[in-house]
């Protein structure tokens, strides 16, 4: 079994580290962060926080565990020479007919249905659902308890907030934020923040 570096020492890093340990795929799991001040002690019990240079030199695979899409995209570009690891919690339900690109994270109780496709470094958080034939672009985040209906198309760097719902067959463009609890009833093609039932773009 290979060694895994969790890159990101915040709360999302702890969630990913816990899932990675439970998955049992890696013989050694360590963590690091771009901020040297955070690289002390342990991320979780038994998962040491190391300085970036030493951690990157020894890791065989890297998972960028940063919630913010722009920051996650930047770090993936920097670390692209390494092997991006996908981490799936053992209590997630991921169809064998789904497609997961490198660097994804699937949390406990999440569902990824048949013929769903996830881009690079997508987060499908606790209890979220990506239904059949839906696609999610690179660096997007489906927050806890959010749901994408069948055949939904989500662009890059999108955040679907906690408890939000995107109805089947709809399209959500790049750089869209859908607020918590919103219901998307029509295509959202323009970047911006959308909220409410039905979801409407908030004025700047």
Q: Return the structure tokens found at 88.
A: 């799936």
Would residue 81 count as lying in a domain? yes
- H helix or E strand, kind and range, residue 184: strand 183-184
Q: Give the bridge partners for 172, in sequence order.
A: 154, 188
Same domain, 17 and 64: yes
Q: Answer yes or no: do 62 and 80 share one domain.
A: yes
| CATH at 63 | 3.40.50.20
Residue 77 shares a structural domain with residue 174: no
CATH code where residue 126 lies: 2.160.10.10
Considering the domain architecture, whether residues 95 and 188 belong to the same structural domain is answered as yes
Instruction: Say if 203 falls within a structural domain.
Output: no
Q: Give the position of tokens 């919630």.
A: 67
Total Cβ atoms within 10 A of residue 122 = 29
Please indicate, yes or no, if residue 132 is contained in any of the structural domains: yes
Q: Dihedral of the CA atoms 122, 126, 127, 130 (nearest 10)?
A: 0
- Is 204 within a domain? no
Alpha-carbon distance of 21 to 17, in angstroms, equals 6
pLDDT at 61 over 70: yes
> Does 130 share its domain with 77?
no
Residues 129 and 80 in one domain: no
Same domain? For 107 and 189 the reply is yes
Containing 5, the helix (H) or strand (E) segment is: strand 2-7
CA distance 179 to 192: 11
- Phi and psi at residue 77, to the nearest 5°: -60, -40
For 27-40, what is each residue's pLDDT tens digit?
Answer: 999 999 999 888 98
Same-domain status, 93 and 70: no
Cis-peptide into 198, omega within 30 deg: yes
- Model confidence at 52, pLDDT cuts 50, 70, 90, reads confident
Long-range contacts of 172-181 (CB under 8 A, 24+ apart): 174/137, 178/146, 180/143
Residues 92 and 80 in one domain: no
Residue 202 lies in a domain: no
Residue 34, φ and ψ in degrees, nearest 5: -65, -25
Q: Does residue 108 share a domain with residue 184?
A: yes
Q: How far apart are CA 67 and CA 85, in angstroms?
A: 16
Inter-residue contact 69 to 159 (CB < 8 Å): yes
Number of domains in the chain: 2
In a domain, 120, yes or no: yes
User: Containing domain of residue 97, as a range?
Assistant: 88-197
Q: Is residue 117 part of a domain?
A: yes
Where does a domain end: 85, 104, 127? 85
What digits encode the pLDDT tens for the residues 151-189?
Answer: 999 999 999 999 999 999 999 999 999 999 999 999 999
pLDDT in tens, 83-125: 899 999 999 999 999 999 999 999 999 999 999 999 999 999 9
Identify which of 148, 136, 147, 145 has the alpha carbon closest to the alpha carbon of residue 69: 136
- Given 48, 66, 85, which residue is the final one in a domain? 85
165-166 and 147-148: which strand pairing?
A: parallel
Q: Is the pLDDT of residue 81 over 70?
A: no
**192 and 93 part of one domain:** yes
| Same domain, residue pair 80 and 38 | yes
Which residue among 30, 59, 85 closes a domain? 85
């Amino acid at each position: 079994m290979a060694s895994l570096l969790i890159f990101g020492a915040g709360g999302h890093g702890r969630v990913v580290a816990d899932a990675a340990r439970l998955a049992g795929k890696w013989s050694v799991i360590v963590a690091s962060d771009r901020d040297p001040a955070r690289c002390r002690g342990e991320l979780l019990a038994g998962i040491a926080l190391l300085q970036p240079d030493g951690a990157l030199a020894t890791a065989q695979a890297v998972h960028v565990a940063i919630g913010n899409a722009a920051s996650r995209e930047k770090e993936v570009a920097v670390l692209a020479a390494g092997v991006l690891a996908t981490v799936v919690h053992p209590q997630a339900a991921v169809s064998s007919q789904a497609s997961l690109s490198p660097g994804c994270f699937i949390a406990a109780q999440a569902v990824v249905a048949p013929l769903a496709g996830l881009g690079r470094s997508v987060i499908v958080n606790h209890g979220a659902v990506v239904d059949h034939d839906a696609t999610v672009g690179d660096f997007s985040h489906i927050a806890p308890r959010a749901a994408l209906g069948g055949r939904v198309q989500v662009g890059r760097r999108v955040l679907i907030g906690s408890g939000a719902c995107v109805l089947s067959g709809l399209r959500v463009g790049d750089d869209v934020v859908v607020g918590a609890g919103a219901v998307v009833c029509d295509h959202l093609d323009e970047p911006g923040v959308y909220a409410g039932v039905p979801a409407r773009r908030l004025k700047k």
